[in-house]
Amino acid sequence: MRPKVQNILPMKIKTTSKTIFFSALFLCAACNDPAHNPNEYESVFLQKEDKKATFVTKSKPKKIILMIGDGMGLTHITAGSIAKKSPLALEKFRHIGLVKTHSTKLITDSAAGATAMATGQKTYNGAIAMDEKQNKLKTIVEIAEENDWATGIITSTHVTHATPACFFSHQAERRNVNEAVALEFLSTNIEVLMGGGWKYFNNRADGRDLLAEAEKKGYFIADNMDKFEDYIPKKTICLISPELPERYKVRGDFLPKATQKSIEILNKNSNFFVMIEGGQIDWGGHGKNSEYIIEEMLDFDRAVAKALAFAEKDGNTLVVVTADHETGGYSINGGDLKTGEVQGAFTSDYHTATMVPIFAYGVGAESFTGVYDNTEIFFKLKYLMGL
Ligand SMILES: [Zn+2]
């Protein structure tokens, strides 16, 4: 029997803790659509300090793969699908939403965008996991580590770049902090770090060799994915380039391979959280370059395919794919479905304020339907992790 409206209105339970739970069991609270089977899953409203409730399901994944296409708007995905001439891995997702990306300014940068997702707070552009008053904000990766979840950070840019840095380090200003971010990494217990930027670890102003220090702490150090062969280390740092990795044409299949290997490594633990960034889709947008966008988009989609294949087999995994913002005010004004040609047009060489899509698959995926702020992603993930 469908509950009466007054019975399903949220009831305040507790006000002492930072997070207050509102309960609305056995109702599809996301859509309130009577056509939706209300018994499909249990859901709750999670009320936060800002009094905004966010919708989550009660099913808890043991493993979470958060994938961020930097600058990946709807048009970037569309361009990828036209060029590929066959469905993207992203098209397999059934739970989809839209995310408002603004920082404390209308148009976010990657640092504030990643900080919102990693910590649940809007902040100023340029902040690496710090609030407006430059207080450090605890990140989802730090919370996971404190609770014995294994964690990983993977990117096709350098690992000290804004998006990955916001998940494990704290800096007031993103510029010129590569060496400081690398040093912060060394005091974490993050199991897997893959991307570019070795010179920030071993060619530093302070003369330290952080890779040698990490090796002493038990990290397997590699400079390309082939170094692993079949080896599954407990902890690893794999940095494929001195600074920024080359674009896809030159760097090849690093991102899908790193996705696969990082999951194999982290899956030795009963719980894991990994953030995987397709970092150069954004650069194609900044360069107003459709070809660059498409190459990076398809590379990222192949990484998504690896994550999905794991999640399908595993059954305890949640995969969430989204973007920090749109880049380029990208549009498609012509092209050819048969040849896969895309005639792109751009309104900007910077980010725009347009909403970005979010896709979810697996345990808890329903939580990501709807239209909401990027900060909600943090609260949804934290709740679903049971932390
Ligand atoms: Zn950008």
* Cβ atoms 119, 140 nearer than 8 A: yes
- How far is ligand 1, taken at its centre, from the CA of residue 282, in Å? 5
Tell me, what's the pLDDT at 230? Answer: 95
Q: Domain check: are 212 and 101 in the same one?
A: yes
Orientation of helix 290-314 relative to helix 74-84, angle to 10°: 90
**Residue 29 pLDDT > 60, yes or no?**
no
Torsions phi, psi for 56 (to 5 deg): -140, 155
Tell me, what's the pLDDT at 54? Answer: 81
Residue ranges with strand state E in the chain: 20-23, 43-47, 53-57, 63-69, 95-100, 150-158, 192-196, 220-222, 236-239, 272-278, 317-322, 326-327, 331-336, 341-345, 351-352, 356-362, 370-373
- pLDDT tens by residue, 138-156: 999 999 999 999 999 999 9
**Position 73 confidence tier, pLDDT thresholds 50, 70, 90:** very high
Q: Domain check: are 84 and 130 in the same one?
A: yes
- How far is ligand 1, taken at its centre, from the CA of residue 346, in Å? 14
- How far is ligand 1, taken at its centre, from the CA of residue 157, in Å? 12
State how many domains the chain has: 2
Q: Domain check: are 26 and 104 in the same one?
A: no
- pLDDT tens by residue, 286-314: 999 999 999 999 999 999 999 999 999 99
Please say which residue of 58, 80, 103 terminates a domain.
Answer: 58
Estimate to the nearest angstrom the gap between the alpha carbon of 292 and the chain centroid.
21
- How far is ligand 1, taken at its centre, from the CA of residue 109, in Å? 6
Which residues 6+ apart lie within 8 Å of 216 measured at CB? none
Estimate to the nearest angstrom the gap between the alpha carbon of 319 and the chain centroid.
10
- How far is ligand 1, taken at its centre, from the CA of residue 217, in Å? 34
Tell me, what's the pLDDT at 25? Answer: 37
44 or 187, which is more confident? 187
- How far is ligand 1, taken at its centre, from the CA of residue 113, in Å? 10
The H or E element containing residue 182 is helix 178-186
- Closest of 99, 160, 127, 113 to residue 367, by C-alpha: 99
Q: Domain check: are 342 and 244 in the same one?
A: yes
- How far is ligand 1, taken at its centre, from the CA of residue 281, in Å? 9
> CATH code at 167?
3.40.720.10
Q: Domain check: are 372 and 297 in the same one?
A: yes
The model's pTM is 0.90
Domain with 37 in it: 1-58
**Residue 9 pLDDT > 60, yes or no?**
no
- How far is ligand 1, taken at its centre, from the CA of residue 301, in Å? 19
Q: What angle do CA 358, 363, 368 make, to 5 degrees?
A: 25
Tell me, what's the pLDDT at 16? Answer: 32
Query: Which percentage of the chain shows pLDDT scores above 90?
Result: 85
- How far is ligand 1, taken at its centre, from the CA of residue 16, in Å? 40
Q: Domain check: are 151 and 28 in the same one?
A: no
- pLDDT tens by residue, 231-260: 999 999 999 999 999 999 999 999 999 999
Q: Domain check: are 115 and 46 in the same one?
A: no
Read off the pLDDT of each residue in 272-285 and give the average, rounded to a whole number. Answer: 98
Looking at this protein, which amino acid is placed at residue 355?
Answer: M
- How far is ligand 1, taken at its centre, from the CA of residue 105, in Å? 15
* Cβ atoms 28, 38 nearer than 8 A: yes
- How far is ligand 1, taken at its centre, from the CA of residue 358, in Å? 18
> 343 pairs with which residues across the strands?
334
**Mean of pLDDT over the chain:** 90
Read off the pLDDT of each residue in 347-369 and give the average, rounded to a whole number. Answer: 97
Numbers of helices and strands, H then E, in the chain: 13, 17
Please say which residue of 24, 42, 58 terminates a domain.
Answer: 58
- How far is ligand 1, taken at its centre, from the CA of residue 285, in Å? 8
- How far is ligand 1, taken at its centre, from the CA of residue 353, in Å? 12
